[in-house]
């Protein structure tokens, strides 16, 4: 069932759990994630990142996401992840994405607000929800859509102004995670999370969930984070399974990869304390 993220993430925040956001890069990964959600009767955010447009086109991603979502009974959000180009985001909306992220986090606060307002105005008239980022979650791999940077914590005093001015539906915050893999487990600023949660009623989002530690992620889910993005963990699980089992051919390689990604998502649902669909 194809839906936007408004009710899904508001419910997650209220009932203290997080919904996995599982970036897909092809039909196999998308189908694997949707099948797990249906099997477990759980909601799912199914994002496609602008950075991956060279792997499959935006048009292909839209067709895949809509087709798979309409084949299952659980709510699926077809989400554009880390959209930086407003024209690209508008095209995603026109193609049927039900949720989009505008990532203007590297801009000044004033410019971030201006750009986000433009996206919100276009999206809301088509019943599409919008996520924005305040602060900046850095990147550690070339899988992301920006250069390697340090993360910048979200400033609590900016949150209320940003949310009220832009009318955004959810907010990605920076509390110590980074995109990609880590050496060791990151230390997250849970005091900053608490302060932000107390400042706004909209759902909060955590990017850079891969390798962030199950205890950290569970604590985030129970304390105000309604959506957690995972990508690198799926790639690593697929690669590790194939290295361990030395598949005989390409078809077995794909089967092993899909199975490893499915197991990873099942583990995420447990860690994030995701509740079943009513």
Catalytic residues: 81
Give the DSSP letter of residue 135: S
204: tokens are: 């909060």
64: tokens are: 């895949």
C-alpha R_g of the chain = 17
Q: How big is the chain, counted in residues?
A: 278
Query: Do residues 83 and 116 make contact, with C-beta atoms less than 8 angstroms apart?
Result: no
Give the DSSP letter of residue 275: P
Query: Do residues 272 and 221 make contact, with C-beta atoms less than 8 angstroms apart?
Result: yes
Helix or strand run (H / E) with residue 160: helix 156-166
272: tokens are: 């994030």
Give 79's strand partners: 47, 99
Contacts 24+ apart (CB under 8 A), 163-168: 163/200, 163/202, 165/113, 165/117, 166/113, 166/116, 166/117, 166/120, 166/132, 167/117, 167/120, 167/124, 168/116, 168/120, 168/130, 168/131, 168/132, 168/202
């Amino acid at each position: 069932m194809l839906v936007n993220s408004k009710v899904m993430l508001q419910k997650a925040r209220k009932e203290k759990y997080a919904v996995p956001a599982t970036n897909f890069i092809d039909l196999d990964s998308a189908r694997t994630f949707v099948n797990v959600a249906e099997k477990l009767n759980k909601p799912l955010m199914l994002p496609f990142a602008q950075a991956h447009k060279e792997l499959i086109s935006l048009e292909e991603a839209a067709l895949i996401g809509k087709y798979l979502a309409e084949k299952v009974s659980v709510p699926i959000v077809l989400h554009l992840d880390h959209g930086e180009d407003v024209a690209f985001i508008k095209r995603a909306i026109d193609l049927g994405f039900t949720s989009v992220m505008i990532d203007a986090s590297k801009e000044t606060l004033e410019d971030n607000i201006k750009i986000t307002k433009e996206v919100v105005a276009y999206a809301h008239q088509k019943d599409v929800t919008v996520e924005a980022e305040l602060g900046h979650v850095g990147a550690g791999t070339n899988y992301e859509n920006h250069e390697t940077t340090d993360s910048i914590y979200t400033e609590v005093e900016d949150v209320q102004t940003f949310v009220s001015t832009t009318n955004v539906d959810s907010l990605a915050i920076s509390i110590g995670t980074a995109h990609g893999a880590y050496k060791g487990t990151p230390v997250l600023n849970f005091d900053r999370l608490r302060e932000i949660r107390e400042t706004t009623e909209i759902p909060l989002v955590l990017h850079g969930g891969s390798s962030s530690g199950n205890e950290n992620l569970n604590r985030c889910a129970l304390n105000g984070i309604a959506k957690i993005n995972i990508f690198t963990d799926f790639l690593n699980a697929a690669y590790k399974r194939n290295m361990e089992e030395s598949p005989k051919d390409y078809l077995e390689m794909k089967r092993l990869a899909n199975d490893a990604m499915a197991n990873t998502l099942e583990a995420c649902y447990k860690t994030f304390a995701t509740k079943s669909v009513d």
